[in-house]
Amino acid sequence: MSKAQTALIVQKLFDSFSNAKIGPEHIRAYVEALEDLEPSRLHAAVIKAIQSSEYLPSIKAVREAAAAIIPDGHIDPELIWHKVHRAIRDVGFYRTPVFEDPLILKAIEGAMGSWQNLCDAPIDDRPSNRARIIQAYQILVKRAKEEEHMSPRLRGLISKAIEVDRARKAGITDLGSIMKTIAEEGAADGRSTLSQD
């Protein structure tokens, strides 16, 4: 990132803490110490630092905030509840929110059963619901990262296992016919994930 880009982002930080005594040497130190970060990561870290700090955060605090931001479009788990809580207020019970990371809604559905269940839960349950949703989100992010490193064949086998599980839940109990159907679909697709190599 260029020094000019870094300086613009750092200026946002300084503007938010106008009571801090900041001289040119401070600006230069922050810019030089933070210019190696990606602009989007630095911007997110500065926003997080502004939201969570009463006083001007140190360079170390900004770098730690940047390190806590999960790459690949996922969100720091600690920020999830803020987004969920805002959606409860803004979207409400009757509509389903759209989050920038679709794993947030999957985590809510996994932890609570549905968005409506979360909205309908007593306010006293919010701390435990928060913990359950964050934990579910962390599990989903971990799974997504693991799947990125899987071979296509292994991903296909896992996908087929999920299909078998869904078929069983739908009341189809004859495993032989389930496997035959899945194998035929795979062969028709040209995938044939169940064949031995």
Contacts of 59 (CB under 8 A, 6+ apart): 29, 30, 33, 34
pTM over 0.75: no
Contact yes or no for 58/29 (Cβ under 8 A): no
- DSSP code at position 43: H
Residue of 48, 52, 104 whose CA lies nearest to 73 = 104
From residue 11, alpha-carbon distances to 3, 18, 141 in Å are: 12, 10, 32
Of all residues in the chain, the percent with pLDDT exceeding 90 is 24
Which structure tokens are listed for 32? 């030089």
Kindly report the backbone phi and psi dihedral angles of residue 76, in degrees, each rounded to the nearest multiple of 5, phi listed first: -55, 125
- Residue of 25, 83, 27 whose CA lies nearest to 51: 83
Q: Which pLDDT score is estimated for 70?
A: 60
Alpha-carbon distance values, 21 to 18, 62, 120, 188 (Å): 8, 18, 47, 69
Find the helix or strand (DSSP H, E) in which 120 lies: helix 115-120
CA-nearest of 30, 28, 25 to 49 is: 30
CB 156 within 8 A of CB 191: yes
Angle at the Cα of 171 (from 165 to 176), degrees rounded to 5? 65
Q: What confidence score (pLDDT) does residue 71 get?
A: 57
Q: What is the DSSP annotation of 108-146?
A: HHHHHSSHHHHHHS-GGGHHHHHHHHHHHHHHHHHHHHH
- pLDDT, one tens digit per residue, over 153-189 is 777 777 777 777 777 777 766 666 666 666 665 555 5
Query: Which of 50, 42, 45, 51 has its CA nearest to residue 86?
Result: 51
Q: Which residue has the tokens 């299909």?
A: 163
pLDDT score for 63: 86
Going along the chain from its start, the domains and CATH numbers come out as: 3-68 (1.10.8), 77-148 (no CATH), 152-189 (no CATH)
Please say if the pLDDT value at position 64 is more than 70: yes
Average pLDDT value for residue range 34-47: 84
